[in-house]
Chain A
Amino acid sequence: MHKEKLKEKDPDEAPARAWAMGAAGWFFPGAGHLLQGHWARALILGGAVWICFVCGLLMGGHMFSVGGEEQGLSALLQIPPMIANLGSGLLYMASWFFGVGFADDPQSAARATYEYGTTFLLIAGLLNYLVMLDAFDISAERKS
């Protein structure tokens, strides 16, 4: 019954509130669900993104940005992982602002967990894109 009701909605119609929830969810992982009163889901989904990101930083992972040091193809190759990292929203911006996780020195790269950390940071951003879309869909009443 409830699923039928959800399916009746025009999928192209999304209220401004849904976009706001999606944006909030992207900016602060978990906020999209929290603002809609889904506490448990916010805690688990947001918590997973936060834990993933913090673990990535603690493991000495590296985040990507298009800074201008690289040129040509090398600069282009930075864009896909940067988009993945950008999914972390505020966490990425705060790290960029404080210069944490952007060091490109041999000491960081020599750590045993460097690659793991970089992967965790990428996955944190990609997971947050999923979480953001979930918050959007809930607000647009496309799912419960």
Chain B
Amino acid sequence: MRHFLVMTLFAFLVAAVFGIVAKDNLRERLLYGIKVFAEFMIIGLALAWILYFIPF
């Protein structure tokens, strides 16, 4: 559980910075931030499951 929370915190902080730095208005920032956050979480979970089944 702790690992998941740490990953969530990491994704949230990075998404917040990416969203504000990369886009110009509030709506675009919010959408981009959510997109980056979702990408981090989905790819992180997908990689975790792939690695779970690799026996080394």
Contacts and interface: CB of A to CB of B under 8 A. Distances in A.
Contacts of B34: none
A123 to B, nearest CB: 7
B6 A45 contact: no
A52 B14 CA distance: 9
Interface in B1-30: 2-3, 6, 9-10, 13-14, 16-18, 20-21, 24
A120 interface: yes
B34 to A, nearest CB: 15
A41 B20 contact: yes
Secondary structure dominating the interface of A: helix
A51 interface: yes
A45 B10 contact: no
A102 interface: no
A48 B13 contact: yes
A144 B16 CA distance: 17
A123 B10 contact: yes
Residue of B3, B6, B13, B24 with highest tally of chain A CB at under 10 A: B13
A28 to B, nearest CB: 16
Nearest to B13: A48
11 contacts: A3-B24, A41-B20, A113-B6, A116-B6, A123-B10, A127-B14, A130-B17, A130-B18, A131-B17, A133-B21, A134-B21
6 closest Cβ pairs, A-B complex: A48-B13, A134-B21, A127-B17, A48-B17, A116-B6, A48-B16
